[in-house]
Amino acid sequence: MKFGVIGIVITDRSKAAEVQNILSQFADVILGRMGIPDQGTGASVISLIVRGSNESLSALTGKLGRIPSVKAKTAVTDVALS
């Protein structure tokens, strides 16, 4: 298990429900979440604090990355937790 941060940028707000559905599927690895809509550009940014295996975190960002108009990047610590 590792701690990490996932940054998500949604440039088409019509994709928000699809993103939310995926986040709900991975609720067990999400410790915290903050979402900020940018009214000026119409984009939204979501930051997630996560704890999970490399496989589960990769699966989460992989599913998000397959949604058009959604970009997701992960930064994972090298601290392994039991």
Tens digits of per-residue pLDDT, 44-81? 999 999 999 989 999 999 999 999 999 999 999 877 66
Give the mean pLDDT of 22-41.
96
What pLDDT score does 20 carry? 97
Classify burial at 49, counting beta carbons within 10 Å of its beta carbon; exposed 0-12, middle 13-18, buried 19 or more: middle
CA distances from 62 to 6, 8, 11, 67, 79 (A): 12, 12, 17, 9, 22
Q: Are 8 and 58 in contact (CB under 8 A)?
A: no
- Domains of the chain in start order, with CATH, are 2-80 (3.30.70.1150)
Report the alpha-carbon distance of residue 66 to residue 80 in Å, rounded.
Answer: 28
Instruction: Tell me the HSE value of 69 on the side-chain side, using a 13 A CA sphere.
Output: 13
Q: Is the pLDDT of residue 28 over 80?
A: yes
